[in-house]
Amino acid sequence: MSIYVDVFKCYVLMGVVMVVTVSEHQEDNERVECPPDKIVYDPERGEYICTLTGEVIESRIIDERPEWRAFTPEERERRARTGGPLTSTVHDRGLATIIDWRDRDATGKRLEFKRRLEMQRLRKWQTRTRIQSSIERNLAQAMNELDRLADQLNLPRKVREEAARIYREAVERGLVRGRSIESVVAAAVYAACRELKVPRTLDEIAKYTKSNRKDIARCYRLLLKELDIKVPTSDPIDFVPRIAHALGLSGTVMKKAAEILHKARERGITAGKDPAGLAAAAVYIAALLCDERRTQKEIAQIAGVTEVTVRNRYKELARELGINLPPQ
């Protein structure tokens, strides 16, 4: 006995509607084998389906693929969670393990004396094996200096990563040889801040390093030239939120200061002037207009400029933009 049946099947797979017309030929106690190239996977139902016969080959399949998508090898490496994240802020990129100094086991219990001596000996050899060349020794010292400087300046993670990348490239090009590590690290941090538009001045960075401002500026110009780093010009508006937050001013003052700087840029007043001084003057004017008065000395200290700079800039902005200031 033979049965011939025309079956119309409709599937929605991967967002595509497929209508399949199938002729099923089944003998008694006999089943038609589905070709492998006709089996598709339905991720929504977790099923393997034969598009030829409409049969569900296997159901309730556990999807072991990651829930994220990656389109480049760099993006795949960054999103993978099968190991510790790679970071440029460690000289070995975080690939090596570290033996803790607490001398305690997994339960928090203190180790015995004999085991503590053994762990101390292992730490010593681990430290020696992690740094095997002069370049690794240079990077280890530079990354420690970078972490210290970034903590002092309260820099975000992205700036630290970019500064570490710039310094590594400088080491590969041989630019650090004959120069102070502190100066090159500070120059890399300043370049990263300029590149990512994080408002930090060269004087602020030089304040927390052993190198003077002139050496950092010289190394900064060298990095820009040799590494072909493209940094945008400093925007005075980037300094406004930082100054306003430090002074406890409201968002209305920040918005007013940004409007003043926008008008000043349109008229070409900001060209060739210190962005921190312009931002301090705009915040001073906005604070007066919004009746949240702050002294020129307070604003100058936060912005890292002199009171004379704030006074000259705010008078120039008020005169050129026609701003009528209340009596001070």
Domain ranges in the chain?
Answer: 2-58, 92-130, 134-226, 236-321
- Residue 1 pLDDT > 50: no
Mean pLDDT calculated for residue range 262-289: 90
- Read off φ and ψ for residue 44, nearest 5 degrees: -70, -35
DSSP state letter for 102: S
Alpha-carbon distance 256 to 252, whole Å?
Answer: 6
Matching CATH number, 236-321, of 2.40.128.20, 3.40.50.300, 3.90.1200.10, 1.10.472.10? 1.10.472.10
- Residue 14 pLDDT > 50: no
CATH topology of domain 134-226: Cyclin A; domain 1 (1.10.472)
pLDDT attached to residue 32 = 60
Alpha-carbon distance 265 to 320, whole Å?
Answer: 11
* 120 and 102 Cβ atoms separated by less than 8 Å: no
Classify 182 as helix, strand or coil. Answer: helix
Alpha-carbon distance 274 to 282, whole Å?
Answer: 12
**236-321 matches 134-226 in CATH topology:** yes
- Residue 10 pLDDT > 70: no
- Read off φ and ψ for residue 42, nearest 5 degrees: -100, 105
pLDDT in tens, 103-155: 888 788 888 999 889 989 988 887 777 777 788 888 889 999 999 999 999 99
Going by pLDDT thresholds of 50, 70 and 90, the confidence category of residue 190 is: very high
pLDDT attached to residue 135 = 83
Mean pLDDT calculated for residue range 5-16: 41
